[in-house]
Amino acid sequence: MAYPISRLWLAAALVVPLAACNPANPPSDPAPPSVAPPTTAPAASEAMPRAAQPANPSLSPEGQPLEQPLSCLDERGRQQADNLVQRCLAVTPATRPPCNVQNPCAMIENEIKRSCDMYGPTEIKPTECAA
């Protein structure tokens, strides 16, 4: 008599966890929130004459980012791009820094700024931070 009860116990022990994994009425996923394009007020740059706006080769004439930003090599030439990369490599603690002439100059400059900003007020910064 103990044999059929232990089989029933074993079957229940196996079925109950499986039933918990696949509920009969799964909760419905909420609809993803609708993403509205950002609305912006007229930018101050629109009021500025074109000659006064800074030239950024990674932006279109309307000030929008290009689909493929220019590399620093294309933007500034071999000598200036190489100098920027050397400064970046000298200051960055990153294991895979963006210090590459194929990246936009702004990305390399941001890495230099980020790296130099990590030094405390009493620490001596590398000379590359001052350039």
Number of other residues whose CB lies within 10 A of the CB of residue 56: 16
Rounded percentage of the chain residues whose pLDDT exceeds 70: 48
Q: In this model, does residue 36 exceed pLDDT 80?
A: no
88-114: per-residue pLDDT in tens?
Answer: 999 999 999 999 999 999 999 999 999
**Res. 66: pLDDT tops 60:** yes
CB neighbourhood size of 92 (10 A): 20
Q: Could you tell me which residue, 58 or 113, shows the higher pLDDT?
A: 113
Provide mean pLDDT across the span 64-80.
Answer: 84
Q: What is the pLDDT of residue 12?
A: 66
More confident of the two residues 17 and 72: 72
* CA 88-76-105 angle, 5° bins: 40
Alpha helices in the chain (DSSP H): 2-21, 44-47, 72-76, 78-91, 105-117
Give me the half-sphere count of Cα atoms (radius 13 Å) on the Cβ side of residue 79.
0
Cβ 112 vs Cβ 130: under 8 Å:
no
Give the tokens for residue 60: 């279109």
- Within 13 A of 24's CA, how many CA atoms are on the CB side? 1
- The band of 76, judged by pLDDT with boundaries at 50, 70 and 90, is very high
